[in-house]
Each structure stands twice: as structure tokens, then as C-alpha cells.
Amino acid sequence: MTEFLSWHLDTIHIITTLVIFIFTFVFITTEALPNAIAAMIGAFLLVAFHIVNQEEAIDAVDFETIGLLSGMMMTVAVMRKSGLFEYIAIKSIKLTGGSPWRILVVLSIVTAVLSAFLDNVTTVLIVVPLTFAVADTMKINPMPMLISEILFSNIGGAATLIGDPPNIMIGGATNLDFMDFIQNNTPVVLVVSVVTFVLLRLIYHKKLSGMVADKEKIQAFDEKRAIQNKRFFYTTLVIFLIIIALFITHHLHKIDLATLAIGGGFTMMMVTKQDPEEILKEVEWATLFFFIGLFIIIGGLEKTGIISFLADKMVEVTHGETEPAAQLVLWMSALSTTFINSIPYTATMISVIKEMTINANQSIEPIWWALSLGACLGGNGTLIGAAANIIVAGFTQKTPYPIKFKEYFKIGFPLMLVSIVITSLYLYVRYF
């Protein structure tokens, strides 16, 4: 009798969990509810229905991810005030002498590098207004630059562990550390960047050389004034470099990244005498709760065995071989994250991959890289592929140059496919 009941209970749990998961996913994708609310209510329901208990829920939340995210948010909040990023961007722009193509390249590189170390949204919030300012001053159309910036925010973000949420989550779930990401992702990111530039040049060559630009006006930008307080500027820069150095040397000191990030953030606040209340207001609590809610829901999927089921299916399809699995994961991730939010997707996939039983003599690592690169680069496919894309598009809506879905798709999707092809080849050559 109890067996019968428990079987029924299990089924009910499974169905309930699936329903909650699907609803949450739909709400997030259609933006019917704000992300944090959808995820947390979903999580709450899972616990309320006793599918997971509170302890298990808390266990499911990956502190490494949450800690790293919040620590970096705090650190960046302080650094933004110094004008460091604007300084870098403006200085670089002035060095180009004002030719539109060069400006596109420079701003894209700045976007990529910043994306690699900061989150993509903050990066575009810094670079996009500057792009408009440059375009307004030189009286040129900023569209090519903006589209390139979207592409490189996602490309750059793929390069490091801290560059994009999928990487942070993978780092938290596995023992891959900062240097591992650099060694595996950065090379392909560089190749993809070069190819993307070449293709962009082909696409925009006519448009850009046809632009009559008021080049000297750029020189009137005074980057030194972006720095209001030299001491503050250097202090934040130094502390940031120390934090990155500590990330890189993780294998030596073994301090986890989340601890480093949070510690670094508060140290920065202390040394620069910032009011913690002010800085903590800049932390995106909604985003953090979004992650927390998702982790709990995934925990529910794990506990009810749904994840195992999916994992087994994937192993079946790929016969337990890493290579096809990696390629499958790569393409699936890229095409999925083009349309849906990469965070819930990655959270789910991480659980699935962990459960995949691979043939003994093969490493599961390439599959992680496939997930990482696919989820990050896939964001380039459409305007809704990543939060940063939406923000850039939003900025343009009220200007004479609004970026529309179709327009971006014609450029973003093909370029994304190219980048995945390159990645696919890379994975093959490097690992197989």
C-alpha cells in the first residue's frame, strides 16, 4: 500500500515540479512576470508542496555563483564612479583619429574587454551612451557601432569565467577555475573576434566609408575630465587588478572566487570610503533572487529525477561519447539561448550534464566548454538573445536610428552561426 502511495506521490511530485518549471520558464521567456518574481514564486511553490524542503532548497543554491555575482556588482559599482571605463573608452576613441571604421573597432574591443571582466549589461550601459555621444558629435549614424557592440559584448563575455553568467554558473558547479576558462575559451574568442571583424568590415564597408564625419570634433572630448579624483581612480584600479590577479592564481591560494569577489568588493568600499548603503543599492538584488529561485527549481527537478531522465536521454542519443555530446550541447545551447534566457537554460543544462554518465576513458570537460561557448555566443543570434542586446536596442528606440528585430537578425544570426561553426571546429581540433 505504502509503495503504491509513494509511487503516486512521486508522480504527483514529478508532474507538479514539471508544471512549475514550465510555467516559470514560460513566464520568464514571455516576460509576463519579472524574472525574479517568476523564479522565486516557482521556488516557493516547490517548497510549499514539499517537493523539496527548506534545507534542500538552500543547499541547491550555488553560493559560488551568487557570491561571485554580488561581489563583482559591488566592485563595479565603486569602479564606475571613478570614470575609469569612460577614460579608457574616450582615450581609445581619440587615438583612432576619428575614422568611423576605426571607431567601430575600438569601441568593440573596449566592449569585449570590459565584458570579459564586468557583466555585459554594465558594459553596454557605459559604452552605448558614449557611442551616441561620439555619433552625435561627428554627425554619423551609430548603428554599425551599436550592432558591433552587441556582438562583442557577448563574444567578450565568453572569454573569462567572470564575463558572463553561464560561465560563472559553470565555474561554481565544477572545479574549473579562472585560468581554465582563459586557456580554453580565450583562444577561440580571439579567433571569432577577428573573423567577426572581417565580416563586419565586408557588411559595413560601403556604409562607413560613405559617412562624412566631423573628425576633429572628437578631439574636444577631454578624457581627463572623466576622472574626477585621481586618487580614487588609481585606488580602484589597483584593487581591481589585485582581485583579478587573485582570480588568476586561484590554484595557488585556493580561496574560492565568491569569497574573493565579495571580500574585494568590501575592501574597495573600505579603502575608498564609500557608504555601503549607497553601493549596496547598486547591487541587482532582483537578478540575484532570480538565480536563487532558479537554483531551487532546478534542485526540485534534480530531486524528482527529471534531470536524470533528461541526462539519460542525452547519453542515449550520443552513445555516451563525449564528442557528439559536446557538439550536440554546443549547437543546442547556441540555438536555444538565441531565443530564450541563457540563465535558466544553463542552470538546467549544468544539472543535466552532471548526471550524464560518460564512457570511462573520456573527459567530460569538452562538454562544459561546449555549454559555455554555446550559451554565451548564442546570445548574439537575436535582439532578445541576451539582456545586453535588449538594453542597447532600448536605447535606440527613441532616436532616429531604432534597431529593429529583423534588422539585427539579418546580421546577428549569420554571424552567430559563423562563430558556432568556428567553435565547433575548435572543439573538434582541440579535444578530439
Partner 1 sequence: MIKVRDYIYKDILSVNENSDLRRVIITMKRHRVCAIPVVNQLGEYVGCISEQDILNASVPQYMKSMYNTSFMADIDHIIGHLHDLLEEKAIKFTDSGYPTVTPNDSMSYAADLLFRSKKTALPVLEGKMLIGLLTRIEILTVSLNGNKLS
User: In angstroms, rounded to a whole number, what is the distance separating the alpha carbons of residues 226 and 232?
Assistant: 12
The answer for residues whose C-beta is within 8 angstroms of residue 274's C-beta and 6 or more apart is 78, 81, 268
Question: From the list 92, 99, 137, 174, which residue makes contact with partner 1 (rule: CB under 8 A)?
Answer: 137
133 binds partner 1 (CB under 8 A): yes
Quick one: 83 or 300, whose CB is closer to partner 1? 83
Classify residue 93 as left (phi > 0), alpha (psi -120 to 50) or beta: alpha
Classify residue 361 as left (phi > 0), alpha (psi -120 to 50) or beta: alpha
User: In angstroms, rounded to a whole number, what is the distance separating the alpha carbons of residues 350 and 358?
Assistant: 15
Which range touches partner 1 (CB under 8 A), out of 30-38, 49-57, 240-248, 393-401? 393-401
User: In angstroms, rounded to a whole number, what is the distance separating the alpha carbons of residues 200 and 51?
Assistant: 50
* Min CB(401)–partner 1 separation in Å: 12
* Min CB(128)–partner 1 separation in Å: 7
With CB under 8 A as the rule, give the number of residues binding partner 1: 26
Which range touches partner 1 (CB under 8 A), out of 41-49, 204-212, 215-223, 318-326? 215-223
Q: What is the dihedral of CA 311, 323, 368, 302, to 10 degrees?
A: 0
Q: Compute how many other C-beta atoms are within 10 angstroms of the C-beta atom of residue 398.
A: 7
209 binds partner 1 (CB under 8 A): no
Q: In the window 90-129, what residues touch partner 1 (CB under 8 A)?
A: 90, 125, 128-129
The answer for residues whose C-beta is within 8 angstroms of residue 132's C-beta and 6 or more apart is 142, 395, 399
395 binds partner 1 (CB under 8 A): yes
Classify residue 252 by burial, with Cβ atoms within 10 Å: 0-12, 13-18, 19+: exposed
Cell of 47: 517548497
Q: Give the SS3 label for residue 364.
A: coil
User: In angstroms, rounded to a whole number, what is the distance separating the alpha carbons of residues 23 and 426?
Assistant: 37
73 binds partner 1 (CB under 8 A): no
398 binds partner 1 (CB under 8 A): yes
* Min CB(379)–partner 1 separation in Å: 22
* Min CB(129)–partner 1 separation in Å: 4
155 binds partner 1 (CB under 8 A): no
* Min CB(131)–partner 1 separation in Å: 8
Question: From the list 83, 374, 378, 412, which residue makes contact with partner 1 (rule: CB under 8 A)?
Answer: 83
220 binds partner 1 (CB under 8 A): yes
Question: From the list 3, 222, 277, 316, which residue makes contact with partner 1 (rule: CB under 8 A)?
Answer: 222
Which range touches partner 1 (CB under 8 A), out of 222-230, 275-283, 298-306, 342-350? 222-230
Interaction site with partner 1 (CB under 8 A): 80-81, 83, 86, 90, 125, 128-133, 136-137, 217, 220-226, 228, 395, 398-399
